[in-house]
Structure 1
C-alpha cells in the first residue's frame, strides 16, 4: 500500500468516515459508484478498552474504562467494534451497558472478564446482574474470551448449599434484556455466581459455539436461560453446570436448540411455570440433536400446581441419554419447597408434546415419568421411536398419571 493511500485511510478513519477498498481504489461507503468486478472490504471503527484506561491486571477495577469505552462505541454513527484485548484479565464490579446505540456494535472479548470476589460490591445494586446489556439493538458479542463469574464466593452462602443461610438471588454472569437482533457466539463462560447467560424480553437471538462450565455441585448455575423472548436459536454448544443446561420459562416462543451437549446438571427444562398462581405461556419449542451425560433429568417440563396458562407445541427429537436419572419427564406437580405443596384445582395446561428418536441409558429403573394434573391432564403427548434401557441393558419402566398418550414406532419402555 502506497504512503499517500495509507495516510488517506488514516485521515478518513480519524473523522469516523467508513471506507471501502475496490482493488486499488479507496472510496467512502456513501459513494454511489462501485466499480464492476471489485470485492468490497469494509473498515470498522475500533474502540479498545485499554485506550480508555483499562489496566487488565486482574487486581484493579476496570469498570470506569469499560463504561467510557462503551459510551464511545454506542455513540458512534457508524458500525463499531468494542475490543477487550487478549492476554489480560479485566476485574469488574456490576456493570450495565445501556442502549439504544446509534449503530450496530460488535463487542469482541478476547481476554478474560473476571467478576469481583467481594459480595459487598453489589451493595446498593440489583444483585440479579453482573454484566447487563439493556435495550441494545443490532448487537454482537463474540471473540473466544472468558467470562468468569468467580462464583465460589456466592455458592458457599447459598441456602441450597448451607441451609443456615437465607435464600437470596445471586447475579447472572451475562444478561441481555430487551435486546433485538442479537448474536452471541464463540465465548467461554465459567463459574457464574448463579445463571451463566440469560435472555430476557429479547427478540431474534442467535447463540452459537458457546462453552459453559461450572462444578456439578454449584447451585442454580443454569447454562442458558430464556425468559419472555421470541425467535431464539441456540446451537453447537457445550454446557456443563450444576443446574439446567437450558431453561426456557414463561413468555418464551419459537425457541430452537440444536447440537447441544449437556452434563453434569439438571438437563434441558421447560419451566418451572405457574409458581404462586402465575399465568405463564411457552410455545413452539424445538430441541433437535442433543446429548445428555449423567444429568439428573433429561428433557423435562415442570409446572407448579395452581398456575394458569399453557406449554404447547413442543418437540424433543434425536436425543441421546447417557446414564440420565430421569430421561423423559413431565411434572405438573413440581414443588421446589421445604414445605409440601397442597393440591390445587388449576394448572398450566400441557399439550402437543412430541418425543421422537430418544435413545440411550437411564440411571434409574423409571425412564419415562409423566406425572400430570388430575384436573388439567396432559393432552396430545406423542412418543415415537423411544429406546431407553437401564445401564445393564435391561428394559426400563414408565409411569403415567392423567395423560392422553399415543405411541408410534418402537417403544422401550
Structure 2
C-alpha cells in the first residue's frame, strides 16, 4: 500500500494546524497497513537553526468532538509536530499503530489524549503518549527514542482546568529514553487535579528519568512562574517497575509546596544505576512503600 506523503516544502503544510483533521464525526475507522509520512525533517532542521520564521508545524492526524473512532495498524512517520491528537472524544481505540521519528525531532509527541473518555491504546510501538483525560488506558507500549515518555499532563496553564483521573498504563518498555513514567505541571495556581493513575509492569532500559513527578515544570528554565502548582496529585500507584536508570536519580518526586502529593504508592520497584545503587529524591510528598522498593532514600516519608 503506497504511503500518503506530505510535500517536501515544509511551508506548504507547516502553517496548517493539522494535516488530516476530523471534527464532529461518529463511527470513523482508519484501518490498514498504510503510512502517513509528513516529511518533517526539513522543518526540524529549520527549528534547530533557531530561525524564528519557522512555522510551528502540523499535527498529522487530529480528531475533535467525535465518538466511536478506531485507528488500527497504520504507520505515522516523521510528523512535523504531534502524530495523533484525540481531543474531546469518546470511545476511541488505537491499536497496533506504529509511530516513528528521529530521536532529536523537536516536540514530535506520539499521541495526545485530552478532554476525552474511554480511550484505549493497545500494542503500540510509539513515541510519547500524553493524556489529560478521564478513563484512559494504555497497554503494551514499547518505546526506543530519546524523547519517549508516558506523561500525564495537568498543565496548570489556566486557573480553571478539568482534572485527570482513572488512567492506567500497563506493560510498558522504555529503552534509552529521556523520561519514563512522568506526571508534570507548571508551578501556577490551578483548580485541576490528577488522581487514580496506575503504572503497572514497566521495564526501564537506560532511562534518564524512570519515575518522575515534576510540579515545577518549566522548559528551558525560562520565565518560570515559581508560584507553587495548584494541581492536586493523589492516589498514584507504581507497581512492578524495574530496570536501569542512565542517571543517578531513578525516582524523583518534586511536588507542589502548596499542594503536596498524597496517596503515592510504590510496590515492587527495583531500579539501578549502571548496575549500582540508584538514588531517589522526594519533596512535599506523602505515601507508602510496599515489598521491595529500591532506591529507598525517601523511606522516611514513604513509610
> TM over 0.5, yes or no?
yes
Could you tell me how far 1:177 is from its partner in structure 2?
1.3
Correspondence for 2:199: 316
Counting only pairs closer than 5 Å after superposition, residues 93-108 of structure 1 correspond to structure 2 as none
Unaligned 5+ residue runs, structure 1? 1-85, 87-110
Structure 2 residue matching 1:154: 3-state secondary structure: helix
Find the aligned partners of 2:9 and 2:51 in 1 and give their Cα distance. Answer: 21
| Cα distance change, pair 346–319 in 1 and its aligned pair in 2 (3 A) | closer
1:230 partnered with 2:112: no
- What secondary structure, in the 3-state scheme, does the structure 2 residue paired with 1:137 have? coil
Report the CA distance between 1:407 and its aligned residue: 0.4
Hey, what does 1:212 align to over in structure 2? 99
Taking the TM superposition and a 5 Å limit, the aligned residue runs for 1:64-79 are none
2:17 to 128, 151, 168: 128
Q: Which one has the largest radius of gyration?
A: 1
Distance 1:323 1:187 in 2: 28
Conserved? CA contact 1:147–1:173, under 8 Å:
yes
Give the direction of change, closer, same or farther, for the CA distance of 1:262–1:383 in structure 2 (3 Å limit).
same
Alignment of 1:4-15 (within 5 A): none
SS of the residue aligned with 2:42?
A: helix
Coordinate RMSD, CA, aligned: 1.7
Q: In 2, are the aligned partners of 1:274 and 1:280 still within 8 Å (CA)?
A: no
1:275 maps to 157
In the TM superposition, what is the alpha-carbon distance from 1:176 to its structure 2 partner?
1.2
The number of residue pairs the alignment matches comes to: 293
Determine whether 1:326 maps to 2:215.
no
Distance 1:120 1:342 in 2: 33
- CA 1:396–1:146 in structure 2 vs 1: closer, same or farther (change >3 Å)? same
Match of 2:3 in 1: 112
Question: How far did residue 178 of structure 1 move?
Answer: 1.5
Query: Which string of whole-angstrom CA distances, capped at 9 and with x for unpartnered residues, describes residues 120-167 of structure 1?
Result: 4348xx622011122110111011011101111221222xx2334257
Q: Which residue of 2 aligns with 1:290?
A: 172
Shift of 1:278: 5.0
Q: CA deviation at 1:383?
A: 0.3
Give the TM-score, by structure 1 length. 0.68
Report if aligned partners of 2:215, 2:229 keep a CA contact under 8 Å in 1.
no
| Correspondent of 1:148 among 21, 37, 50 | 37
Corresponding residue SS for 1:153:
helix
Residue in 2 that maps onto 1:353: 236
Higher helix content, 1 or 2: 1
Q: Deviation above 3 Å: which 4+ runs of structure 1?
A: none
Contact 2:229 2:257 in 1 (8 A): no
Matches within 5 A, 1:9-408: 86=1, 111-122=2-13, 127-158=16-47, 161-165=48-52, 169-239=56-126, 241=127, 245-249=128-132, 252-264=133-145, 265-271=147-153, 273-277=155-159, 279-308=161-190, 309-337=192-220, 339-391=222-274, 393-408=275-290
Higher relative contact order (CA 8 A, sep 6+): 2
State whether residues 173 and 196 of structure 1, in contact with CA within 8 Å, keep that contact through their aligned partners in structure 2: yes
